[in-house]
Amino acid sequence: MELTDSAEQGSLEAIASQQRLRLRRLGMAMGSYLFTFAMVLMWWGFGFLDGIVVLQWSVFSICVNLIFLGLILNNINLRLRDPSLTVPQIVTSLIPSLFVMYHLDAGQARAIMMLLCVIPVLYGILGLDFRRLMIVMIWIVASYAALMGVLFWSRPDVLDGSMELMQFLMLILVGSQLALLGGYISTLRDHLRSRNEALQDALTRINELAARDPLTGIYNRRHLMTSLADVVAVDEQQRRCSVCMLDIDHFKALNDSFGHQAGDQALCAVADLIQNNVRASDVFGRYGGEEFLLILPDTGADGALSKAERLREQIARLVLPALPSAYRVSVSVGIAEHCPEESMDDTIKRADAALYQAKEAGRNQVCLAEA
């Protein structure tokens, strides 16, 4: 349950971080409207536009940005295929600009406004791939062509054929170049993301290898100590934790009699058996030499004693190819439950002392340390 809750918490934090980033981008987009608003005001001041056109442009622009702001603040954008709303913002920003261009009489003024229409595409380069950039540019070019058609039908006197054609061709040229540049940047971005993921995977594998014992494949002592530090807070959560120290009996004699290969096989067999019979929350590793350490969170002394007895019995039944058929490997186990008033080092010392008591009592048995 705790792992699931932690994963959900991490996912929620990641979503919140992405939403904050989208709000910052929306703020930048709103800032670009201010430049356009300044230009529209200048045209009104110079007599190119009526005041009602400026008012209508302002109301529409404010409403559009408030809609996008509401979608993000209420997390509605997360239900969409593109939560960043990049394409909708670019496409929508074109509508008030086309409205202003329709009311401009001077072709040069429409050309300036057309350049302002391209500015949102520059923001799209940061997050769109080539295909979506082409869709946006096709929309811009088609919308401008439709505007020219409407003007030709309703206000042909404000059009200069050759100038309008040149502006239209320049829009196509600039738009295609932006789409190609955006596609190239998108390719580089995808390549960089792929390299970063590969690097992260490599670092994960390196960290995993650094935490593993090369012979048995289980955790090494360094990782065990780190795990013990993580469970120091169990007392604050009023949870119990026990540690088991396991040692293979007569391991030196086994090496001397049958060779180090047989000793290595015994270590690996014991390690595999224990590893395959512990919970996902338990931490098991090689403490050193023929000693193993098993950390049992949420487990009191009684539960640890029962677990250790089962493992001891299973190990005593192991048959190893490198050893005579009658030879059996056994382990002695010392158990200590962590007490609130002691450090984990002291808990390990008590488990180690209990282990030696088990050996002195005849080996192949489990001994529980006193609290």
Rounded alpha-carbon distances, angstroms, from residue 33 to 20, 59, 66, 126, 170: 20, 12, 13, 18, 23
Alpha carbons 8 and 10: distance in angstroms, whole number: 5
What is the Cα–Cα distance from 128 to 178, expressed in whole angstroms?
12
Contact 301, 256 (CB under 8 A): no
Task: Please name the helix (run of DSSP H) or strand (run of DSSP E) that holds residue 328, with its range, or none.
Answer: none
CATH superfamily of 221-368: Reverse transcriptase/Diguanylate cyclase domain (3.30.70.270)
365 CB neighbour count, 10 Å cutoff: 17
Q: Which of 290, 309, 342, 370 is catalytic?
A: 290
Closest to 168 measured CA to CA, from 152, 147, 145: 145
Site of tokens 């209508």: 56
Active site annotation includes 341: no
The tens place of each residue's pLDDT in the chain, 371 residues long, gives: 444 444 566 577 888 888 888 888 888 878 878 888 888 888 898 888 889 989 998 999 899 889 999 999 999 988 888 888 888 888 888 888 888 888 888 777 788 888 777 777 777 777 788 888 888 888 888 988 998 999 889 888 888 888 888 888 888 888 888 888 888 888 888 889 889 999 988 888 888 778 899 999 999 998 898 888 777 665 455 578 899 999 999 999 999 999 999 999 999 999 999 999 999 989 999 999 999 999 999 899 999 999 999 999 999 999 998 888 889 999 999 999 988 788 888 999 999 999 999 999 999 999 999 87
- Residue type (1 letter), 269: A
E strands, the chain, are 241-248, 283-288, 291-297, 331-337, 366-368
Q: Where are the beta strands (DSSP E) in 148-261?
A: 241-248
Sketch the domain layout of the chain as residue ranges: 2-205, 221-368
Predicted TM-score (pTM) above 0.75: no
